[in-house]
Amino acid sequence: MNKKSDLKHLLWVSIVFWGAAYTAIEAPFSLVFHGRIHTWQLVLDAVFSIIFGLDFYFHYKEIKSLENSKSYTKRLKAPKPFAKYTFLTFDFVACIPFDLLGAFIGLPHVFIILRLLRLFRVYKIVQTINEMANVPTWFRIQVIAIISLIVLNWIACGWIAIYPKPDDVSVTSYFIKCFYWTITTVATIGYGDITPTTDGGRIYTCFIEIIGVGMYGIVIGNITQMMAAADRHKEQTREKLNDLLLFMKHYHIPHHLQEAAFNHYNHLLSKRLTDNDEKIISELPHALQDEIQIYMKIKLISAIPIFHGLGHECLKEVAKSLEQIYTAPGDYVIRVGEMGHEMFIIAHGSVDVSIADGTIVANLHDGQIFGEIALIKETTRTANIISQSYCDLYKLTDENFKILTKQFPKLLENIEKNTQRRPTDKK
Ligand code: CMP
C-alpha cells in the first residue's frame, strides 16, 4: 500500500471508529437516563448505520478478494470460515439502525444495547493498528483518548444505574457530577465529597478503584512511550552533534574544518542517514534489504522528469542499476576532457557546471542529471562538474546505461530531450 492509500485507509478507519465510539458512549447514556430519543440522535443513527453498512461491504469485498486471490500468501490471510461468519454477523448487526427502528416500529428501549455490537469494531480497529507497522502518532493518541472516554463514560453510567438521577436535578448536571466522581476515583484522588451509601455502591467503588489504577497506568504508559519514540531520533542527533563538538574542541580543529564537519553531519542527520538507520536495514534479510533499497530509489527517480512516462518495470531496472555516492563541497565529480564512464542523478544537493576556462555555465540541483553527453555521444566530457554542497548522487555506469536504453528506448529519448534543453539550466 502506498502512503496515499495508507492515509485514506486510516481516515476511513477513523470515521468508523468515531461511529463506534459515539454508539459506545450514547447507548449506555440513553439507557441509564431513560431519555427520549431526539431527532438529532435519529439522524446520527442513520448516518452511522450507512457508514457501518459501507464498511461491512468493503470488508466483505476484501475477504472475497483474499479468498479468490491467485497469490498463495494472500489466500493464507483470508479468515477461516468460523471467524469469517462471526465477524460478518457482528458487522452486519452493527449496521442495523436500532434507534430508528425503535422510533418507528416501537422496539423496546433495551434494544439500544444491541447497538453495542458496534463496539466490536473498536476491538477490530485496535487489532488492525497492532498489525500495522507504521501507524501515525496522531492516530494512536486518538484511539487511546476515545477508548479512555468510552470506559470513563461506562463507569459513570454504572454509577448512575446504582444511584439514579433525582427528579429535581438536570441530566447534564447529574452526568457531570457522576463523571467527576469517576475521574476522581479512577485517578485514585478520591476527594470524598461523593461517597457510596449502599453496599452495592461500595462494591462498585472498590471494583472501579482497582481497575482505575491499571487503566491510569496503561494510558499514561502508552502516551509516554509514543512521545519517547517520536523524540528518540532528535535525541540521537543532539548526542551526535555534542560528541562532535567535544572532539573538535579537544583537538583544536581549525574553524573552517569544524564548520565543514558540522555541515556534513547536519546533512546526514537531516536526511536520517544515521548509522542507526543503516544498522536497522542491515539486520533485515538480504533479499528484503535489496527490495527496500530498490523501492527507495524508485520513489526518488519516479519524480525526476527524464523518468516521466516510463513504466514501473523500467523504473525498477534503473533503480537496480543505481549506486549511491556522496560528495563534499569543492569535489570534482567530472573533469572536462576525460573519458566518461558514468552518468549521475542528483538526489540531494547542488553542483556547478564549468567549462575549460573555469566559467560556470550552469548550476544543477535535486532531480537533475549530468554526465550523460559522454555516454550518448561516446566522447570525452564536455564540462567540469564541481560539488557545490554536500550531495547524494546516484551513479549509472556506461554498461548499464547501454543495456537500459536498448531495453527502454523511451528512456534514451527522454535523456536526449533533457540534454537539448541544457542552456536553460543556468540559475
Ligand atoms: P558530460 O559531457 O558527459 O560531462 C559533463 C556534463 O555536464 C555533461 O555531460 C552534461 O551533463 C553537463 N553539462 C554540460 N554543459 C551543460 C550546460 N550548459 N548546462 C547544464 N549541464 C551541462
Distance between CA atoms of residues 139 and 7, nearest Å: 10
pLDDT in tens, 26-44: 888 888 887 677 888 889 8
pLDDT of residue 2: 52
pLDDT in tens, 83-103: 888 888 888 888 888 878 877
Q: What is the DSSP string of 172-212?
A: HHHHHHHHHHHHHHHTT---SSS---SHHHHHHHHHHHHHH
* CA 130 to ligand 1 centroid distance, Å: 51
Element (H, E) at 105: helix 98-105
Answer whether residue 75 shows pLDDT above 80. Answer: no
Contact 179, 156 (CB under 8 A): yes
Average pLDDT, stretch 390-394?
88
pLDDT of residue 110: 66
pLDDT of residue 250: 83
Report the candidate in 199, 173, 200, 202 with the shortest Cα–Cα distance to residue 190: 202
The verdict on the CB of residue 365 being under 6 Å from ligand 1 is no
Average confidence score pLDDT of the chain: 84
* Helix (DSSP H) and strand (DSSP E) numbers for the chain: 16, 8
Query: What percentage of the chain reaches a pLDDT higher than 90?
Result: 33
Contact 197, 183 (CB under 8 A): no
Average pLDDT, stretch 163-167?
93
pLDDT in tens, 170-197: 999 999 999 999 999 988 888 889 999 9
* Class of residue 131 by CB neighbours under 10 A (exposed 0-12, middle 13-18, buried 19+): exposed
Residue 41's identity, in one-letter code, is: Q
Phi/psi for 397 (5° steps) reads -75, 160
Dihedral sign, Cα of residue 165, residue 166, residue 171, residue 177: negative
Distance between CA atoms of residues 252 and 235, nearest Å: 26
Residue 10: which pLDDT band, with cuts at 50, 70 and 90?
confident
Q: What is the DSSP string of 220-252?
A: HHHHHHHHHHHHHHHHHHHHHHHHHHHHHHHTT
Grid cell in block for residue 359: 566559467
Model pTM score: 0.52
Q: Whose CA is nearest to atom 4 of ligand 1?
A: 371
Element (H, E) at 343: strand 342-348
Residue 223: which pLDDT band, with cuts at 50, 70 and 90?
confident
* Class of residue 21 by CB neighbours under 10 A (exposed 0-12, middle 13-18, buried 19+): buried
Sequence-distant (6+) residues with CB within 8 A of 340 are 334, 371, 373, 374, 375, 379, 380, 381, 398
* CA 296 to ligand 1 centroid distance, Å: 26
Which strands, in side-by-side order, build the sheet including 350-354? 332-334, 384-387, 350-354, 360-365
Distance between CA atoms of residues 45 and 191, nearest Å: 38
pLDDT in tens, 262-282: 777 776 665 554 445 566 677
β-pairing verdict for 350-354 and 360-365: antiparallel
Grid cell in block for residue 368: 537533475
Answer whether residue 202 shows pLDDT above 50. Answer: yes
Q: Whose CA is nearest to atom 1 of ligand 1?
A: 371
Task: Give the position of cell 502512503.
Answer: 3
Which residue did the predictor score with more confidence, 62 or 262? 62
Grid cell in block for residue 393: 548522487
Query: What percentage of the chain reaches a pLDDT higher than 70?
Result: 89
Which residue did the predictor score with more confidence, 5 or 286? 286
Average pLDDT, stretch 398-422?
90
Report the candidate in 320, 233, 309 with the shortest Cα–Cα distance to residue 268: 233
pLDDT of residue 137: 75
Residue 259: which pLDDT band, with cuts at 50, 70 and 90?
confident
The verdict on the CB of residue 366 being under 6 Å from ligand 1 is no
Which atom of ligand 1 lies nearest, measured to the CA of 343? 3
* CA 213 to ligand 1 centroid distance, Å: 68
Answer whether residue 252 shows pLDDT above 70. Answer: yes
* CA 332 to ligand 1 centroid distance, Å: 13
pLDDT in tens, 324-349: 888 888 999 999 999 999 999 998 88
pLDDT of residue 386: 96
Which residue out of 346, 364, 373 has the highest number of ligand 1 atoms within 8 Å of its CB and is therefore the one to mutate? 373
Which residue out of 354, 398, 422 has the highest number of ligand 1 atoms within 8 Å of its CB and is therefore the one to mutate? 422
Report the candidate in 136, 144, 133, 110 with the shortest Cα–Cα distance to residue 17: 144
